[in-house]
Structure formats: C-alpha cells, structure tokens
Structure 1
Amino acid sequence: MTELADDYRVTRSAAPVREQAVIQLRSLLTRRFQPGDRVTEAAVCELLGTSRTTVREALRQLETEALIEIVPGKGPTVAKVGESDVRDLYEIREVLESFAILLFIGRASEDEKARLAFAFSELEKAHAGGEAARVLDAKQVFYDLLFEGAHNNTISALSQRIYHQVARVRLASLSADRIRAGIGELRVVHQLMVAGSGQEAQEAYAVHMRNARYAAVEAVKRFS
C-alpha cells in the first residue's frame, strides 16, 4: 500500500455508516491499494474506524461494482483492469456523458448551470495547485453536477460505476501535460454548452474522450 496522509475514518453524519464506508473504501482502493492487492477486513476496519460487519457489507457492495474480486485462497483483492477493459469503459463513458451534455443543455435550470460553471472554475484552481488527485476530485464534482442537471438518474448511476472502475487508471494517466490539455478540452466543451450548441459540444467532448482514452490505455500498459 502507498503511504498517504489522507484520513479515511468514517464520521458521524446524516448518511448511513454503511454508505459512508462504501464511499471511503472506493477512495482507498484508488489511492492506497494497487490492482491485485489483498484487501483484509482488519486493515480496512482500522483505516475506516468501523466494525467488521460494516466492512464486509462495503466489500460486498464493491464486489458487485467489479472493484473487488474474490480470489480463491486469497480472499478480497483489488480488481485488475486490462487494456481492452479500459477501451470498453471509455467508449461507454463517451456515449453516456455526451448524451448527458445534450440533456443538460435542454433541461438544466439557471441555478444548475451556474453551479456547473463554478465547478469548472474550481477545477481550474485545482489544476493551478498542481496535484493530480485534487484535479480528479474536482472533475468528479463537475461530472456530478453535469449528471444532476441532465436529470437522468440512469445515466448518472451507470457513469458513476464506470468512473470508479477506471479511477486508478485515470489518476495514473494524469500527467502534467494531460491535465493541462484535458482541462483545455473541457473548457471548450463547457463554453459550447453555455452557448447552447449541443452538437458542437458533443463533438468537442468526443475529442476529449478519445484523448483521455489513449492516455488511460497507455497508463494500463505501464502497469503491465
């Protein structure tokens, strides 16, 4: 496991403990574990500060999301993602998120549009800070608001699942050059959305996804 200073302990809040544990465990798998690493209940209990029962439930949830796989004789391990998996996932991302862009333009309220614009400005600030993990977090906020304004829960649920499956690959693929280029590509997409140019925004997003897919595949090759 990579040693990081992040605190993943579950805290008291309105959200159920199990739901918090699932969210934190997803983050752990992205930032502290490597594909193929064994995920022990004891280690996760210590990191999350929760009971074994909660951890077991969270692990089962992540197994259904293809983030965890049960290896005979080894137990829960972080699922591996190959080149073909990445290509498949990014192709589906392009279809879903491109359609979400079109829906957002037609369905989002003025408040939702303003929140998306603010999220993009925060993404640019994260880029200025120079930390890839923070850029990834800021991008996820942007996408969350995109899906919210698209008002299609199915697209949101499917896209979130794909996001978590490729999160580690995305983090590894975010070189300084790719971060800068990717934000520039998204800036064009967002500007076209603001202008109400749906088809042009989708075409610009297709370019963004092709470039992101290439970077992700190259990152997987480095893992192999």
Structure 2
Amino acid sequence: MTEVLGTYRVARSAAPVREQAVIQLRNLVAGRFQPGERVIEATVCELLGTSRTTVREALRQLETEGLIEIVPGKGPTVARVDESDIRDLYEIREVLESFAIMLFTERATADEKVRLASAFGDLEKASASGEATRVLEAKQVFYDVLFEGAHNNSISVLSQSIYYRVARVRLASLSAERIRAGIEELRIVHQFMAAGSGQEAQDAYAVHMQNAREAAVEAVKRFN
C-alpha cells in the first residue's frame, strides 16, 4: 500500500495519471484533510499537479469507496466516520487480516517469512521511538508483507479500501500506552506464525484487534 505521508504530486511516468491521482487523493484524504472538510478541486489540482478533469474522476472513484461524500450546497467533502462505522470496519479488518494470517502460515515462502520477521523487527524499532506516524508506517509494511505472503490478492485489495477509511483514526488511537501494548500483542501473533501455528496466531490476533478497536472508538469520540 502507498504510505500516507510524503509528497502527493503525481509522477508523469509509471502508472497511468488517473490511477496515480486516485492513489494520491486517497493519501490526501487519509493524511491531510479533516473529516467533514470540503475538498476544493483547485487545491487538489495544485497539490497533485494534475488537471481538473483528472481530479474530478478521482473524486468520483473515492465517492464509490466511501472516502468522499457529496454534500448538497457544499460539494465533495471528506466522509466522516462514527463509532458504529469504526466497529463495523474493524470487524471486517479482523476477518480479513485473521484469514491472511492463516493463509500466510500455510502458503508463505521461506523468503516471505524472513521478510515478515524483518518487517516486525522494524516495527519494534518504530514502537520503541514512540512516534505514532512512524509506527503506523512500519505496521503498514508488516501488513503488506503479510498480504503478499498470503497469496490472495482480493484480501489485499479489500483491506486497502478499509485502510484509507480508518487511517486518521488509527493514527489518533496510537497513544504511548497503546503503542507499547500493541507491539507486545503482535509479538505473540508473529511468534505463533513463525512456529506455523495458524489457529493460535488467529486467536492472538483477535485479542489484538479487540484492543485496537476500542482504542479507535475512543479516538473517534474525540473527533466527533
């Protein structure tokens, strides 16, 4: 997945401009704009370095994904999420990511297992820093390797759509206490995965997601 922070401008090579614009607009929605904030086309054009036509197409795509909503008299705005939304989205996250954990233990290559261990090591270092943004970025790398090793592209695609909807809430939920607790919870998950114990890893992940969900609910209360 694309990281939330960093430059937003669309490159003139590699993927098609429209596809890049969609990706970078998702990043803007997740990392720069506030829930309920109006998305001004001219501002987005300047940030992305693209035409209004491309931006409008990207906005329509994000509307179908639930990231943008069209408010009468106001235009496109960043969709808000409430407690109910967070609970629903985290339930879906748990199902998808727990299944990915099981598939990883069954399908991952030796190289993918090494890469997951390396990603977890980087996550430990990020957690030791106590910096929420760094932790979130390191966690996303960990999940990217997890999804790749699960060898099920649909899980990755579905998880990505959820990721952007909860990115800001996840960041706000990462207090120092939650960072410390979260890394220990994931350590247990990773240990079971490394041992090839998929069911135990799933059970441990359910505990992690329950705690993450409650932290996210508290964070969204502060937003609303």
Instruction: Bin the TM-score by the shorter chain.
Output: over 0.9
CA RMSD of aligned residues (A): 1.4
Q: Name the residue aligned to 1:90.
A: 90
Q: Name the residue aligned to 1:201.
A: 201
User: Shift of the alpha carbon at 1:127?
Assistant: 2.2
User: Shift of the alpha carbon at 1:6?
Assistant: 4.2
Q: Name the residue aligned to 1:218.
A: 218
Q: Counterparts of 2:126 and 2:22 in 1: how far apart (Å)? A: 25
Q: Counterparts of 2:41 and 2:21 in 1: how far apart (Å)? A: 12
State the one-letter code of the partner of 2:31.
R
Q: Name the residue aligned to 2:109.
A: 109
What secondary structure, in the 3-state scheme, does the structure 1 residue paired with 2:189 have? helix
User: Shift of the alpha carbon at 1:180?
Assistant: 1.6
User: Shift of the alpha carbon at 1:122?
Assistant: 1.7
Deviates more, 1:32-41 or 1:13-22: 13-22
Deviates more, 1:6-15 or 1:163-172: 6-15
Q: Counterparts of 2:102 and 2:186 in 1: how far apart (Å)? A: 15
The list of structure 1 runs, each at least 4 consecutive aligned residues, that deviate by more than 4 angstroms after superposition, is none
What secondary structure, in the 3-state scheme, does the structure 1 residue paired with 2:76 have? strand
1:68-147 paired onto structure 2 within 5 Å: 68-147=68-147
Q: Counterparts of 1:187 and 1:139 in 2: how far apart (Å)? A: 12
Residue deviations 1:148-187, cap 9 Å, x none?
1111122221111111111111111111111121111111
User: Shift of the alpha carbon at 1:36?
Assistant: 0.4
Q: Name the residue aligned to 1:41.
A: 41
Q: Counterparts of 1:133 and 1:57 in 2: how far apart (Å)? A: 29
Q: Counterparts of 1:6 and 1:149 in 2: how far apart (Å)? A: 26
What secondary structure, in the 3-state scheme, does the structure 1 residue paired with 2:56 have? helix
State the one-letter code of the partner of 2:174.
L
Q: Name the residue aligned to 1:157.
A: 157
Q: Counterparts of 2:218 and 2:172 in 1: how far apart (Å)? A: 10
User: Shift of the alpha carbon at 1:106?
Assistant: 0.2
Q: Name the residue aligned to 2:172.
A: 172
State the one-letter code of the partner of 2:173.
S
Q: Counterparts of 1:128 and 1:24 in 2: how far apart (Å)? A: 29
Indicate how the Cα distance of structure 1 residues 12 and 128 shifts in structure 2: closer, same or farther if over 3 A, else same. farther
Q: Counterparts of 1:14 and 1:6 in 2: how far apart (Å)? A: 18
Residue deviations 1:109-164, cap 9 Å, x none?
11111111111122222223332122112211111111111111222211111111
Q: Counterparts of 1:125 and 1:21 in 2: how far apart (Å)? A: 32
Gaps of 5+ in 2: none
Q: Counterparts of 1:124 and 1:212 in 2: how far apart (Å)? A: 17
| TM-score (normalizing by structure 2) | 0.93
What secondary structure, in the 3-state scheme, does the structure 1 residue paired with 2:101 have? helix
Judge conservation of contact 2:130–2:179 (CA < 8 Å) in 1.
no
Q: Counterparts of 1:124 and 1:53 in 2: how far apart (Å)? A: 43
